[in-house]
Chains A and B, each alone.
Chain A
Amino acid sequence: MPEIKSLSVGQVVAEKSFKISRDSLVRYAGASGDFNPIHYRDDVAKAVGLPGVLAHGMLTMGISISPVIAWAGSPSAIVDYAVRFTKPVVVPPSGHAEVKIVAVIGVIEEDASRVRVDLTTTFEENTVLGKAQAWVKLS
């Protein structure tokens, strides 16, 4: 677990890219129980006016916190996690969509032994999550 005293506001604590394929969407549908067909069927996505099959917003939220958990050392360190879904991640039928996550220290509360980590998740140069913030307990 990182030492809170060694951290500074603005410091990048995690940076990682992930490839999301149709396989990833099927896997997440099964794991989460969210079987909305807009996340795996092109015809359904098209019929409701979407640009293509979209990644579940909750999948993007879940993936985005993974590098922070690896940095903090345990999922139990994450005590509060919030995001806004601002733009969709379109996943092509073959190949993949690549999302890039950068996690930066936003606030340090040394007395409470916790820090706020601010996340930027981008897909094709666009930020797909707004106000993505996680409070991480470091003790």
Chain B
Amino acid sequence: MVNQALEGKRYPRTAPYMVGREKLREFARATMLDVSLLTDEVIAPPTFPVVIQEQSLKLVIEDPEASLDFSRVVHGEQRFVYQRPIVAGDELTSELLVASIKSLGGNQMVTFNTEIFDAEDQLVCTAISTLVVRGENA
């Protein structure tokens, strides 16, 4: 089970991720979106920040104090709240907060708020993810 004391923990800022034009097009094709809709500027598909969120989540998985067993994890909920669209050329970093850990019928619901910033340190998007961690007997 996830360490309850983790609630409220903030993980360090991740290393900058350079958003590539072809990566965005690849992501668009994979999510069955017409690539021409990204326009010449190349705007990211709305769920692309999952790639950035993943960088922060990796810190939690690698944190021995967290004891998050990823083989018991199911994705419960996901949300992206945008301040502005992400575009090719953006250099993004992220910071994850363990917003809440709730126990529910032998399982745990763990919610992470990942704030994504640009090179000017302006908030671009908040990715909110709830993972369901199945209990040992579930």
How many residues on the A side are at the interface (Cβ–Cβ under 8 A)? 33
How distant is the Cα of A134 from the Cα of B39 in the complex, in angstroms? 21
B60 at interface, CB cutoff 8 A: no
Task: Name which of A3-11, A61-69, A90-98, A105-113 contacts chain B.
Answer: A61-69
Contact with A81, one of B26, B46, B51 (Cβ below 8 angstroms): B46
**Given A48-B71, A63-B32, A81-B47: A74 and B39 interface contact (C-beta under 8 Å):** yes
**Contact status A69-B50, CB under 8 Å:** no
Shortest CB-to-CB span from B54 to chain A, Å, is 6
**Contact status A61-B78, CB under 8 Å:** yes
How distant is the Cα of A58 from the Cα of B74 in the complex, in angstroms? 12
Chain B residues, CB < 8 A from A51: none
Instruction: Give chain B's interface secondary structure class.
Output: mixed
Chain B residues, CB < 8 A from A27: 29-30
Chain B residues, CB < 8 A from A1: none
A2 at interface, CB cutoff 8 A: no
Q: How large is the interface on B (under 10, 10 to 19, 20 to 34, 35 or more residues)?
A: 20 to 34
Instruction: Give chain A's interface secondary structure class.
Output: helix
Chain B residues, CB < 8 A from A85: 74-78
A139 at interface, CB cutoff 8 A: no
Chain B residues, CB < 8 A from A34: 50, 54
How distant is the Cα of A28 from the Cα of B48 in the complex, in angstroms? 11
Of B30, B38, B128, most A-chain CB atoms within 10 Å = B30
Chain A, Cβ-Cβ closest to B30: A31
Interface residues of A in 11-45 (CB under 8 A from B): 18, 24, 27-28, 30-34
Chain B residues, CB < 8 A from A30: 26, 30
B85 at interface, CB cutoff 8 A: yes
Chain B residues, CB < 8 A from A82: 77-80, 128
Closest 7 CB pairs of A and B: A62-B31, A82-B79, A31-B30, A76-B85, A78-B46, A62-B47, A66-B33
A sample of 19 inter-chain contacts (CB < 8 A) reads A18-B32, A27-B30, A31-B31, A32-B50, A58-B47, A58-B78, A62-B45, A63-B31, A63-B32, A65-B45, A66-B32, A74-B37, A75-B38, A78-B46, A80-B81, A81-B46, A81-B47, A82-B77, A83-B79
- Known A-B contacts: A31-B29, A82-B78, A83-B79. Give 20 more (CB < 8 A): A27-B30, A28-B30, A30-B30, A31-B27, A31-B30, A32-B50, A57-B75, A58-B50, A59-B30, A61-B47, A61-B78, A62-B45, A62-B47, A65-B31, A65-B47, A70-B37, A75-B44, A76-B43, A80-B79, A80-B80
